[in-house]
Amino acid sequence: MTRSTCPSILSVVGARPNFMKIAPLMRAFDASEAPLESCLVHTGQHYDAAMKAAFFDQLGIPEPDIDLGVGSASHAVQTAEIMKRFEPVLDERRPDAVLVVGDVNSTIACALVAVKKGVPVVHVEAGLRSRDRSMPEEINRVLTDQLSELLFTTERSAEANLVAEGIARERIHFVGNVMIDTLRMHLERAIPPEQTLSGIGQADRWLDAAAGFGVLTLHRPSNVDDANVLRRLVDTLIGVADRVPLVFPMHPRTRGRLAETGLDTRLAQGRILVTEPLGYLELLGMMSRARLVLTDSGGLQEETTALGVPCITLRENTERPITVEQGTNTIVGTDPARILGAVDEVLTTGGKQGRVPELWDGRAAVRIRDRLLAWAGVLSEPDQATG
């Protein structure tokens, strides 16, 4: 692409996992010395006033130029509704490219509309693969990459995944991890655990200087929608909490499933402090001081690696293998013996030390911006060694 005028990028954000990724991109676009027009569309896939304060305001994400207000629904209904509401925006704005991040329904929905309209798609966080097609996010990742003109990767192994799927190497650019841009920028502002827990009257009980504490998150359908799996996990996590107390910011989906099965009462018997979902700065403060993190989230696997905090992932696979190969992550699935063994290993030895992966240096968003400007013919080509 070659232009003589200001290129326009329409960026899409839709759900909580997107917010930490879009924030550094919007900041880099706004700080560009070269002409660049940026528009932010919030699909409303996940949205409420408390979440806006906890993420948009804390991370400095600007007010969306357009809010589609889609809301929650089944995967099919939600994806279709996003497409219906996004198409008129694309027709009106006529951007030079649509930028999507991650792997949520908004990502694939807006990419489909754009490519059918002949608008190039830019995918940030491309090429990650779990090899598990039962995960809706895996379907979204694979299809979005096939639709994209420019694919920005967080780890070098992602390029091999994309090439194996027939994507030309010249469309793939290794730039680092925008989520780590956000972490590095805000780490000094992270809210201390004692402040967060004092706000709910639990600091004295849960901040045991000798034992420390762990952080738990759990939300994936494979873990919470099957009552037998959820029961096994609850019993195992109570056993974990006998070893180290856990702070559990609970996802609404998980809260509903626990209530439906009556397991919420069982969970309350353990040393597990259940809280409402935490804001970014509150959760960052918790993770940075935790002895370990147990999670089925993808993003937390990366954040714990960047923080050097042992992570125990309650899944059978990961689309972020670098967190295992180089970082602090251990995959254990839902087997009680593996979970408890991994916890005991961390408490005994301190767990995996790991190292921060290549280009997780806080400048991924700047590399993406400069590559986009080069693609648009506004800047010269960036150094190939860095994307």
Give the residue, 377 or 182, on which the prediction is more confident. 182
Calculate mean pLDDT across residues 304-327: 98
317 in helix, strand or coil? coil
Q: Are residues 251 and 374 in the same domain?
A: no
What is the span of the domain harbouring residue 202?
192-349
Mean pLDDT, rounded, for 224-249: 95
CB-based contact 332:295 (threshold 8 Å): no
In a domain, 44, yes or no: yes
> What is the average pLDDT across 304-324?
98
The answer, yes or no, to whether residue 378 has pLDDT greater than 60, is yes
* Mean pLDDT for the stretch of residues 363-371: 97
pLDDT score of 384 more than 70: no
- Same domain? For 339 and 249 the reply is yes
In the structure encoding, which two tokens stand for residue 13, read together?
């954000």
In this predicted structure, the answer to whether residue 62 has a pLDDT above a threshold of 50 is: yes
Specify the pLDDT at position 4. 46
pLDDT for residue 185 = 97
Arithmetic mean of pLDDT, 23-50: 88
Task: Return the ∠ at Cα 223 (arms to 222 and 225), rounded to 5°.
Answer: 70
Clarify whether residues 269 and 366 are in a common domain: no
- Number of domains composing the chain: 2
* Window from 48-62, 165-179, 248-262, 327-341 with minimum mean pLDDT: 48-62
Strand arrangement of the beta sheet that strand 121-124 belongs to = 66-67, 37-42, 8-13, 97-101, 121-124, 150-153, 172-174
Q: Cα(205)–Cα(224) distance, rounded to whole angstroms?
A: 28
Same domain, 26 and 81: yes
User: Is 181 part of a structural domain of the chain?
Assistant: no
Domain contains 197: yes
Query: Has residue 243 been placed in a domain?
Result: yes
261 and 153, same domain (yes or no): no
d(CA 68, CA 84): 10
Task: State yes or no: is 219 an active-site residue.
Answer: yes
* Shared domain check, 345 and 314: yes
| Predicted local distance difference test score (pLDDT) of residue 49 | 65
Same-domain pairing of 281 and 303: yes
In a domain, 3, yes or no: no
What is the Cα–Cα distance from 348 to 106, expressed in whole angstroms? Answer: 42
User: Residue 55 — pLDDT band, cuts 50, 70, 90?
Assistant: confident
Residue 116's CATH number: 3.40.50.2000
Whether 321 and 365 share a structural domain = no
200 and 91 housed in the same domain: no
CA 212 to chain centre: 26
Q: What is the pTM of this model?
A: 0.94
Domain shared by 27 and 143, yes or no: yes
Between 56 and 153, the more confident residue is 153
Whether the predicted pLDDT of 228 surpasses 90:
yes
Average pLDDT, the chain: 92
Position 16 scores a pLDDT of 83
Q: Which of 346, 345, 311, 314 is nearest to 329 (CA)?
A: 311
AA identity, residue 259: A
Same domain, 145 and 199: no
Evaluated on CA atoms 151, 154, 155, 158, the torsion sign reads: negative
Q: Is residue 354 part of a domain?
A: no
> What is the predicted pLDDT for the residue at 385?
47
- Measured at the CA of 271, the angle between CA 265 and CA 275, to 5 degrees, comes to 70
**For residue 383, what pLDDT is reported?**
62
Q: What is the mean pLDDT of residues 18-30?
A: 95
> Between these two residues, 326 and 198, which has the higher pLDDT value?
326
Write the pLDDT tens digit of every residue in 145-166.
999 999 999 999 999 999 999 9
46, 75, 173, 219: the active-site residue: 219
State the average pLDDT over residues 258-276.
91
User: Is 290 part of any domain?
Assistant: yes
196 and 343 co-located in one domain = yes
The answer to whether 376 and 5 are in contact (CB under 8 A) is no
211 pLDDT more than 80: no
Give CA–CA dist 152/122, Å, rounded.
8
Q: Mean pLDDT, to the nearest integer, of 331-352?
A: 97
pLDDT > 70 in the chain, percent: 93
Residue 184 placed within a domain: no
